[in-house]
Amino acid sequence: MKPSFYVLSLEDSDMDFEIISEQLINAGFNLNISRAQSEKEFMSLILKRRFDFILADNNLPQFSAFEALKIRNKHCPEVPFICVTGSIGENMARELFRLGAVDYVLKDNPEKLPIAIKKAMDEAKEKSARRRAEYALKENENRFNKVAEDIRDSSFH
């Protein structure tokens, strides 16, 4: 059985939400997908559960992927964020990446979404492994420094 992923989808279009869900299910993802259609719902879901990745439309009434990304950055910066939008300019894409999005997928090309998600999940695993290795290295360094300090202290007595 494939592992389950918890997905937060910020999408106000029923049809687009269905297309996104179908693409991921057809690609073999086992999903638990939560849907937000507003800033209030998005914030509520972010605070209630830990998600494996976030998919965000950019053109919701009074809420955008940029605002969603800022909320993600504050509450769960380690969660991969992918913008799924109808259109995006080069400057907008650059700004999304600068703010921490890992990718974007155009809605008229939904078959690219599973590829973007796999890439984002692989990168998230790599970052997590790197953080664990850095933490272990720091812990070993602290132990070594403590032993060296104890030896130095005992040699002066």
Q: Tell me the pLDDT tens digit for each residue of 102-126.
A: 888 888 887 888 888 888 777 767 7
Q: What is the pLDDT of residue 157?
A: 62
Identify the residue with better confidence: 70 or 3.
70
DSSP three-state, residue 107: coil
Q: Tell me the pLDDT tens digit for each residue of 40-55.
A: 999 999 999 999 999 9
Q: Count other Cβ atoms within 10 Å, centred on residue 47.
A: 10
Cβ-contact 38, 63 below 8 angstroms: yes
Identify the residue with better confidence: 58 or 144.
58
Which CATH architecture is the domain 4-128 placed in?
A: 3-Layer(aba) Sandwich (3.40)
> What's the predicted TM-score (pTM) here?
0.76
Identify the residue with better confidence: 155 or 61.
61
Q: What is the pLDDT of residue 36?
A: 95
Residue 92: burial class (beta carbons within 10 Å; 0-12, 13-18, 19+): middle
Mean pLDDT score, 70-87: 91
Domain coordinates of the chain in residue numbers? 4-128
Dihedrals phi, psi of 84, to nearest 5 degrees? -115, 110
DSSP three-state, residue 55: strand
Q: What is the pLDDT of residue 37?
A: 93
pLDDT of 3 higher than 70: no
pLDDT of 140 higher than 80: no
Enter the tokens of residue 114.
């599973």
- Residue the block writes with tokens 């202290």: 153
- List residues bridging with 33 in a β-sheet: 7
- List residues bridging with 7 in a β-sheet: 33, 53
